[in-house]
Amino acid sequence: MLLEINHLHFSYSPEKKLFTNLNLKIDEGKIVALAGESGCGKSTLLSLIYGLLDWQHGDIKLNGEKLQGPKGNIVPGEENIKLVAQNYDLMPYATVAENVGKFISNINLDEKNSEVEKLLEVVGLQDFSEEFPKNMSGGQQQRIAIARALSVMPKLLLLDEPFSNIDFSRKIQLRERLFNYVKEKNISLIISTHEILEVVPWLDELIILQEGRLIQNDHPQEIYEDPYNNYVSQLFGEVNILSDEQKTFLNLHKNAWYPHEISISASGLEAEVLECRFSGSFFWNKVKIQNIILIIYTDKKLESEKVHVQFN
């Protein structure tokens, strides 16, 4: 077991409690995401693991060794763990290559330069090695910080919203390169995100937090197909939430339905088409059954004002 959190209690003040008896275990070499709405505790939990905040009760262990937190460490942070937070802490007047190589030994400069080059390729900045971070965008600075964190080969890498400032096209490339690299090097990775679907294909485990409580922890597919509550299902994107009365009226077995789980059929419940909009790989539709409004996705544009739908 790489990381263990046992009976953790943390509050910013007596009036502002966040974690109460939090328990969590993460195996070595796994890619794990912390997800939940803003304020649920994702960033705070990463700061606690890394050692930037003191907790009131409980313990955090890495490879069986208790972490001390700020009370036990003169220099903030824990050995064998690296955190890339929203403040990237780069050297503004050193080059990108110098920033990435900051913690790599100078004993063999050829090896160091080769390693820096590899890391810059991982984050897609190989053409910017001689630039200065102060002249670069927030997304580029974020990638520099990730490459620098990888350079020390930590046992555990913590990334706080790692794709938040990165353009969509760059994001796709970075995700694949980064996740493949940590798997190859057996680096355990925990990322916080409010966009689950961006990282789901690479995750071994998904942890859902709600107001400081761990409410679901499993493989992403298990959580997606069987969300604990409506809050969880909404984290995966658009979802139709029905009241108990509406569920009974439609004779359904659950309250939450993703748009792709409702399809157009030759027979079924009659629905009025209110809107039909092109949305790239699908058409986004708003339909109404009696007074119940639903969002459904279709491959083709709905041409008629009335359709029949079924819940799959």
pLDDT tens-digit map of 227-265: 999 999 999 999 999 999 999 999 999 999 999 999 999
pLDDT tens-digit map of 33-79: 999 999 999 999 999 999 999 999 999 999 999 998 888 888 888 88
Mean pLDDT, the chain, integer: 94
- For the chain, what is the HEC assignment? CCEEEEEEEEEEECCEEEEEEEEEEECCCCEEEEECCCCCCHHHHHHHHHCCCCCCEEEEEECCEECCCCCCCCCCCCCCEEEECCCCCCCCCCCHHHHHCCCCCCCCHHHHHHHHHHHHHHCCCHHHCCCCHHHCCHHHHHHHHHHHHHHCCCCEEEEECCCCCCCHHHHHHHHHHHHHHHHHCCCEEEEEECCHHHCHHHCCEEEEEECCEEEEEECHHHHHHCCCCHHHHHCCCCCEECCHHHHHHCCCCCCEECHHHEEEECCCEEEEEEEEEECCCCEEEEEEECCEEEEEEECCCCCCCEEEEEEC
pLDDT number for residue 170: 82
Who has greater pLDDT, 311 or 88? 311
Structural domains of the chain, with CATH: 1-79+156-166+184-234 (3.40.50.300), 81-153 (no CATH), 240-311 (2.40.50.140)
Who has greater pLDDT, 92 or 274? 274
Among the ranges given (129-133, 145-149, 168-172, 232-236), the one the predictor scored with the smallest mean pLDDT: 168-172
